[in-house]
């Protein structure tokens, strides 16, 4: 495998590939290359120009043959590398492995279990395809050294991924540096030999249903004294429905209508362009069902159910999806009130730095600590004294004692409990929104994504913003600029610029970590006037910032 010639590398890869489909892909490309087809050679070169790197999100990529795709060879190498890493850390390590409904997820999970068992790591496979939060729960509940979840979450249909959690001293959080680099080094060493030579064993364990039962029981406990609600739910062709339905029933919300067209796991995601509730149109079927059934609220999980989106009536006969930030700050207020009711004098609300500053205002007003982290729940889940954490991309951690990752099912129960309490109090959601604005101020948030064809364009735009920093954006004066490139406050060096503007508005600019995009996060607030006047002012400022940033980046 050390050769730099893509054809020879492809021959060596195909020779060890146990998957007939991906092996046939390579053999066909090799045959075409041997016949002088330049396109086939170029395709092999693209697949063998490197390898998917094991980073802090694990592995994620398109299914296919070669080291720059997700396949059984790459996953076997990853499992062997992770096993070596765990054996170097502990005398008797253990791992629990879960998988979702994407293509080859079950195959990758069994390969991992066999290789772990073959190396002497105690391996426990979840009993069937299940949501990511159940795997995250299992790491803590079973007290394993690590967890592996085979999922690509809300990525496009051709993708799959390999997410790793560390238990015990890491409390079941996703991996962070330097563990990612150390695991990657072990994977590279494992790749020096054929996967046919890796020891395998079928002596792995399969977890019992009682583990899922305990997740259901503990999640349902988040709701008490539930009032009847009419709920529409969509699993977005993922694995959420079976577990979510059991949780909703146990939590006192049996009247849930599932969107039938999206209920069962389907790796092709036939009714959506992208299986992500944030995408335009992804919740249209759910909104149609909500209108038909007169629902109070819509709940949408992404395919592995670690994220949740919430839909509410828009007051004009239609439906709106709440922003990830609005759900985030409302659940944060709920967490603060629960802490007060329990008499807790200390605790922390946390969010990623690109999420709305509203949560910080909630924490200060309610006498709690507040922490900002880099993006990703691998950071949020590690905050000390954590009561609640969220990030604007529909991720919420509402029960840190049970799960140290975002959990779309637990968060859904919190949302339903909130609506239930509002109904019991005779209060509408619109009134609850206004009460938040009265107490904390009104907030608005938005995003701009600048997609580029040439990746060099992104550093050019960042360099221009540093060399010629704007004095105003959309007519709003810039008061301060934070440049994270050399490290800032508690944050390590990061390619992030943060602009603080007059009136409490804020703009954050950073490259996307997964796509060829420059992302801009816009946040505004207002404390003047009635709740309605505050919201109108925040919305107007947001529109001005949006127009100003688009002009600035044109």
Give whole-number Cα distances, 348 to 176, 219, 355, 383, in Å: 21, 21, 16, 8
Closest residue by Cα to residue 332 from 379, 278, 397: 397
Q: How far apart are CA 508 and CA 82, in angstroms?
A: 35
pLDDT for position 163: 97
Q: How far apart are CA 240 and CA 305, in angstroms?
A: 5
pLDDT tens for 484-536 read 999 998 899 999 999 999 999 999 999 987 678 899 999 999 999 999 999 99
Domain 50-211 shares a fold with domain 324-406:
yes
Tell me which CATH homologous superfamily contains domain 50-211: Alpha-D-Glucose-1,6-Bisphosphate, subunit A, domain 3 (3.40.120.10)
pLDDT for position 353: 95
Listed in sequence order, the residues at least 6 apart from 30 whose beta carbon sits closer than 8 Å to its beta carbon are 7, 10, 11, 14, 40, 44
CB atoms near residue 177 (< 10 Å): 11
For residues 363 and 336, is the Cβ–Cβ distance under 8 A?
A: yes
SS3 210: helix
Which residue's structure tokens are 């735009």? 461
SS3 349: strand
pLDDT for position 514: 66
Q: What is the CATH number of domain 441-553?
A: 3.30.310.50
Listed in sequence order, the residues at least 6 apart from 272 whose beta carbon sits closer than 8 Å to its beta carbon are 236, 237, 262, 279, 281, 282
The residues carrying an active-site annotation are: 153
Report the DSSP beta bridge partners of residue 488. 491
Q: What is the CATH number of domain 324-406?
A: 3.40.120.10
**Residue 159 CA to its chain's centroid (Å):** 15
Domain boundaries, the chain: 50-211, 324-406, 441-553
pLDDT tens for 80-134 read 999 999 999 999 999 999 999 999 999 999 999 999 999 999 999 999 999 999 9
CB atoms near residue 542 (< 10 Å): 20
Entry pTM: 0.95
CB-neighbour burial class of residue 338 (10 A; exposed 0-12, middle 13-18, buried 19+): middle
Rounded to a whole number, what is the distance in angstroms from the first to the last CA of the chain? 45
Q: Mean pLDDT for each 10-residue chunk of the chain (554 residues)?
A: 81 97 97 97 95 87 96 98 97 98 98 98 98 98 98 95 96 94 96 96 98 98 93 98 98 97 98 94 97 97 98 94 98 97 94 97 97 94 97 97 97 98 96 98 95 88 95 96 92 94 96 84 97 97 97 90
Closest residue by Cα to residue 270 from 291, 285, 252, 257: 285
pLDDT for position 3: 61
């Amino acid at each position: 495998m050390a050769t730099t010639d893509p054809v020879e590398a492809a021959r060596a890869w195909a020779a060890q590939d146990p998957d007939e489909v991906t092996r046939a892909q390579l053999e066909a490309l090799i045959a075409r290359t041997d016949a002088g087809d330049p396109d086939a050679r170029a395709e092999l070169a693209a697949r063998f120009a490197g390898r998917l790197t094991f980073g802090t999100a694990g592995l994620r990529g398109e299914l296919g043959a070669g080291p720059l795709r997700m396949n059984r060879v790459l996953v076997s190498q990853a499992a062997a590398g992770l096993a070596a890493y765990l054996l170097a850390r502990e005398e008797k390590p253990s791992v629990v492995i879960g998988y979702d409904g994407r293509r080859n997820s079950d195959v990758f999970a069994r390969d991992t279990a066999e290789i772990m068992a073959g190396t002497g790591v105690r391996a426990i496979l979840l009993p069937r395809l299940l949501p990511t939060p159940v795997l995250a729960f299992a790491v803590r509940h079973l007290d394993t050294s690590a967890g592996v979840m085979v999922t690509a979450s809300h990525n496009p249909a051709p993708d799959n991924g390999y997410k790793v959690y560390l238990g015990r001293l890491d409390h079941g959080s996703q991996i962070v540096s330097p563990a990612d680099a150390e695991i990657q080094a072990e994977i590279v060493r494992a790749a020096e030999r054929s996967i046919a030579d890796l020891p395998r064993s079928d002596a792995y364990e399969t977890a019992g249903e009682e583990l899922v039962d305990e997740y259901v029981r503990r999640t349902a406990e988040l709701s008490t004294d539930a009032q009847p609600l009419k709920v529409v739910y969509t699993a977005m062709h993922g694995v959420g429905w079976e577990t979510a339905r059991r949780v909703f029933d146990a939590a006192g919300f049996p009247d849930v209508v599932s969107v039938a067209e999206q209920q069962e796991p389907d790796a092709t995601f036939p009714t959506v362009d992208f299986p992500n509730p944030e995408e335009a149109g992804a919740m249209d079927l759910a909104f149609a069902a909500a209108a038909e059934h007169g629902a109070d609220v819509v709940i949408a999980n992404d395919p592995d159910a670690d994220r949740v989106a919430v839909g509410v009536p828009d007051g004009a006969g239609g439906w709106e999806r709440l922003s990830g930030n609005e759900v985030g700050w409302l659940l944060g207020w709920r967490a603060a009130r629960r802490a007060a009711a329990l008499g807790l004098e200390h605790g922390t609300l946390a969010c990623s730095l690109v999420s709305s500053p509203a949560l910080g205002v909630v924490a200060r007003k309610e006498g709690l600590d507040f922490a900002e982290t880099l993006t990703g729940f691998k950071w949020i889940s590690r905050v000390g004294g954590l009561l609640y954490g969220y990030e604007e991309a529909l991720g919420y951690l509402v029960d840190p004692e049970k799960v140290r990752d975002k959990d779309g099912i637990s968060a859904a129960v919190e949302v339903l409990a909130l609506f239930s309490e509002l109904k019991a109090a005779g209060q509408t959601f619109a009134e609850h929104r206004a009460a938040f604005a009265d107490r904390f101020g009104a907030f608005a948030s938005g995003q701009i994504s600048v997609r580029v064809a040439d990746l060099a364009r992104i550093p050019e735009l960042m360099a221009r913003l540093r060399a010629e920093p704007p004095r105003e954006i959309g007519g709003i004066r810039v008061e301060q600029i934070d440049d994270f490139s050399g490290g800032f406050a508690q944050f390590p060096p990061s390619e992030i610029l943060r602009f603080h503007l007059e009136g409490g508005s804020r703009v954050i600019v950073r490259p996307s970590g997964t796509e060829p995009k420059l992302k801009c996060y816009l946040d505004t607030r207002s404390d003047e006037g009635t709740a309605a006047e505050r919201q109108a002012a925040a919305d107007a400022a947001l529109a001005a910032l949006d127009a100003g940033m688009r002009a600035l980046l044109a």
